Chains A and B, each alone.
Chain A
Amino acid sequence: MRYISNTAAQQREMLATIGVGSLEDLLAGIPPKARLSRPLALPPAMAETDLVRHLRAMAATNADADSHACFLGAGAYDHAIPSPINHLILRGEFFTAYTPYQPEASQGTLRSIFEYQTMMAELTGMDVANASIYDGASALAEAALMAHAVTGRREIALSRGVHPLYRRVVETYGEGPDLRLRDVPLGDGVTDLDALRKAVGDATAAVVVQYPNFFGCLEDVRAAGEIAHAAGALLVVVADPVNLGLLTPPGALGADIVVGEGQGLGVPMSFGGPNLGVFAAKRELVRRMPGRLVGATVDRDGGRGFVLTLQTREQHIRREKATSNICTNVALCALMATIYVSILGKHGLRRVGELSTAKAHYAAAELAKVPGVRLRFGAPFFKEFALELPKAPERVVKRLLRDRILAGVPLKSFDRTMKQSLLVAVTEKRTREEIDAFAAALGRAVA
């Protein structure tokens, strides 16, 4: 990146070119009311050593996954991040402000994206995956728009087991094309299939289930798919790709589109972003897919090469009839995921799933032994589960911070009927000591 200077002499030259006397004259058109009449309230500049000390002291007041035992989930997970990821992404070829897509200059970048797409397609059991979308929520919203475009229908039957914030993003995206969301309730932690059957009909573009769902429970994806397909609708499955090293790929269960949050694949939680939106679909839907797609091809000498492909779907060519208005991807996060999956491999990723689910089940059993604490749902769960607490979860969470434990996510902010519920996630990183300490601290907090 070039440094562009802006000296006083250059400012004078620019002002003279456009015929303005001073910077103050240039801003004269802005009403005085809208302008700040005093200098910004900034403290005096610090020496570098003082500044670093100051920022470190501020950072130390955070409770993060390095300083605390993290049982937070609800869409972002504290999976282990192998150290080669950070080392490799900092290389200048990758660590740029913008993804260079020109094939003549960017074979390395394009190839890494192609590898990413291949991995996501294999994990989800789909034929084709795009170069990524901003996050899981926007990936789901794009899937809803795509289902509407494919079927010409407007209703989206959305299970209550889908992340509530994803639902809100779908609502926002659906406003323009007038999509209508139909709520499908849960029965004991998983989608009520009878209610789903009633919610689905001639107007349904897609049925959406999450697997495992927001509460950690394992949905009957195959049954949801049969209901969707019988009505001529698509099945959209929201899935965390980390879990798909162990769980059956949604593609094998009838999914037409698979989306998800890929943060768990080597991307730090970073207090909520940047994240990684995974988007994959069946081959016959490829022309309706949103986002960038990298394809493998051959050059005129027969050598293998990589290019952006099927760009006529996209906004810079198809204008207002484009499949989506996304014209980019989250290349650096996708690269992290690519390196992560390469390092772990098939067996490593499976092991992450096995350890996470085994530790989650151990934690659920230990935590449920605390008097007054019980599991909220009876349905089988994967690495996350909801607890019913005898005291307000917000207060319990606050109390456990003192023991350096991030106990989980109170569900009241998502659903007012769940004011006693705490969502707890357990990854392969959690140790038996941490889980036992959590159970002991929870016992003290609710006693």
Chain B
Amino acid sequence: MVDVPEELRYTKEHEWARVEGDRARVGITAFAQEQLGDVVFVELPKVGATVMSMKTFGVVESVKAVSDLFAPLTGEVVEVNAELGKKPELVNSDPYGQGWMLVIKLAKPAEAGELMTAEAYRRFVESAAH
């Protein structure tokens, strides 16, 4: 079973969000990176950009596919993981840690309640796998 940390919240597009006060750190799940294969490029928005819940904010490219990235929550981008420009493989090796993508300053904190819990995401992935 793939790693699904309890303290995070999840989307059906396989992004995770770690909500801390009025901010949320965002990345893609271990399941997502496994499905994509070796990530070779990550395209992220600039600091200051606005992202909308469940709208695309960027693109992740692996050796075999290109996928859109969907924002779990609405808000302003206050940090971007510049390290991914040089080391996109961090998305594979440490998806919940060094492979993070954005920090969003939340405009609608209540949206977090609509995201899946770890338990719900685990069930979602299992049902998708069958």
Can you report 13 A-B residue pairs in the complex whose CB atoms are below 8 A from each other?
Answer: A287-B41, A287-B43, A312-B40, A312-B41, A312-B61, A312-B65, A312-B66, A317-B65, A317-B66, A318-B66, A321-B59, A321-B66, A321-B68
Which residues of B sit under 8 angstroms from A317, Cβ to Cβ?
Answer: 65-66
Q: How far is the CA of A321 from the CA of B69 in the complex (A)?
A: 13
Residue in A closest to B43 when the chains form the complex, CB atoms: A287
Which residues of B sit under 8 angstroms from A318, Cβ to Cβ?
Answer: 66
B59-87 residues with Cβ-Cβ distance < 8 A to A are 59, 61, 65-66, 68
Q: How large is the interface on B (under 10, 10 to 19, 20 to 34, 35 or more residues)?
A: under 10
Which residues of B sit under 8 angstroms from A312, Cβ to Cβ?
Answer: 40-41, 61, 65-66
Query: Which of A312, A318, A321 has the most chain B CB within a 10 Å cutoff?
Result: A312
Residue in A closest to B49 when the chains form the complex, CB atoms: A152
Q: How far is the CA of A318 from the CA of B41 in the complex (A)?
A: 14
- Secondary structure call for the B interface: strand
Which residues of A sit under 8 angstroms from B43, Cβ to Cβ?
Answer: 287
Interface string of A298-325 (1 = CB under 8 A from B): 0000000000000010000110010000
Q: How far is the CB of B25 from chain A (nearest CB, A)?
A: 25
Interface string of A268-303 (1 = CB under 8 A from B): 000000000000000000010000000000000000
Q: How far is the CA of A287 from the CA of B40 in the complex (A)?
A: 11
Q: How far is the CA of A317 from the CA of B66 in the complex (A)?
A: 7
Question: Which 3 pairs across A and B sit closest by C-beta, in order of nearness?
Answer: A312-B66, A312-B61, A318-B66
Which residues of A sit under 8 angstroms from B41, Cβ to Cβ?
Answer: 287, 312
Number of interface residues of A (CB under 8 A): 5
Q: How far is the CA of A317 from the CA of B36 in the complex (A)?
A: 13
Residue in B closest to A317 when the chains form the complex, CB atoms: B66
Residue in B closest to A314 when the chains form the complex, CB atoms: B66
Which residues of B sit under 8 angstroms from A287, Cβ to Cβ?
Answer: 41, 43
Residue in A closest to B56 when the chains form the complex, CB atoms: A321
Q: How far is the CB of A67 from chain B (nearest CB, A)?
A: 53
Q: How far is the CA of A317 from the CA of B59 in the complex (A)?
A: 13
Q: How far is the CB of B58 from chain A (nearest CB, A)?
A: 11
Which residues of A sit under 8 angstroms from B65, Cβ to Cβ?
Answer: 312, 317
Interface string of B30-53 (1 = CB under 8 A from A): 000000000011010000000000
Which residues of A sit under 8 angstroms from B66, Cβ to Cβ?
Answer: 312, 317-318, 321
Q: How far is the CB of A100 from chain B (nearest CB, A)?
A: 22
Which residues of A sit under 8 angstroms from B61, Cβ to Cβ?
Answer: 312
Q: How far is the CA of A321 from the CA of B65 in the complex (A)?
A: 12
B1-60 residues with Cβ-Cβ distance < 8 A to A are 40-41, 43, 59
Q: How far is the CA of A318 from the CA of B66 in the complex (A)?
A: 6
Q: How far is the CA of A287 from the CA of B41 in the complex (A)?
A: 9
A357-395 residues with Cβ-Cβ distance < 8 A to B are none
Q: How far is the CB of A49 from chain B (nearest CB, A)?
A: 58
Q: How far is the CB of B37 from chain A (nearest CB, A)?
A: 12
Q: How far is the CA of A318 from the CA of B40 in the complex (A)?
A: 15
Q: How far is the CB of B99 from chain A (nearest CB, A)?
A: 19
Q: How far is the CB of A369 from chain B (nearest CB, A)?
A: 59
Residue in A closest to B40 when the chains form the complex, CB atoms: A312
Q: How far is the CA of A317 from the CA of B64 in the complex (A)?
A: 9
Which residues of A sit under 8 angstroms from B68, Cβ to Cβ?
Answer: 321
Q: How far is the CA of A100 from the CA of B43 in the complex (A)?
A: 31
Q: How far is the CA of A321 from the CA of B59 in the complex (A)?
A: 10
Q: How far is the CB of B33 from chain A (nearest CB, A)?
A: 16
Q: How far is the CA of A312 from the CA of B42 in the complex (A)?
A: 12
Q: How far is the CA of A287 from the CA of B43 in the complex (A)?
A: 10
Which residues of A sit under 8 angstroms from B59, Cβ to Cβ?
Answer: 321
Q: How far is the CB of A203 from chain B (nearest CB, A)?
A: 17
Q: How far is the CB of A324 from chain B (nearest CB, A)?
A: 14
Q: How far is the CB of A412 from chain B (nearest CB, A)?
A: 47
Q: How far is the CA of A30 from the CA of B65 in the complex (A)?
A: 43
Q: How far is the CA of A312 from the CA of B61 in the complex (A)?
A: 7
Q: How far is the CA of A321 from the CA of B60 in the complex (A)?
A: 12
Q: How far is the CA of A123 from the CA of B89 in the complex (A)?
A: 35
Other than A312-B65, A312-B66, A317-B65, give 8 A-B pairs with Cβ distance below 8 A.
Answer: A287-B41, A287-B43, A312-B40, A312-B41, A312-B61, A318-B66, A321-B59, A321-B66
Which residues of A sit under 8 angstroms from B40, Cβ to Cβ?
Answer: 312
Residue in B closest to A319 when the chains form the complex, CB atoms: B66
Residue in B closest to A322 when the chains form the complex, CB atoms: B66
Q: How far is the CB of A387 from chain B (nearest CB, A)?
A: 50
Q: How far is the CA of A287 from the CA of B59 in the complex (A)?
A: 12
Q: How far is the CB of A83 from chain B (nearest CB, A)?
A: 44
Q: How far is the CB of A316 from chain B (nearest CB, A)?
A: 11
Q: How far is the CA of A318 from the CA of B68 in the complex (A)?
A: 10
Q: How far is the CB of A284 from chain B (nearest CB, A)?
A: 10
Q: How far is the CA of A287 from the CA of B65 in the complex (A)?
A: 14
Residue in A closest to B59 when the chains form the complex, CB atoms: A321
Interface string of A311-345 (1 = CB under 8 A from B): 01000011001000000000000000000000000
Q: How far is the CB of A349 from chain B (nearest CB, A)?
A: 36
Q: How far is the CB of B130 from chain A (nearest CB, A)?
A: 27
Residue in A closest to B46 when the chains form the complex, CB atoms: A152
Which residues of B sit under 8 angstroms from A321, Cβ to Cβ?
Answer: 59, 66, 68
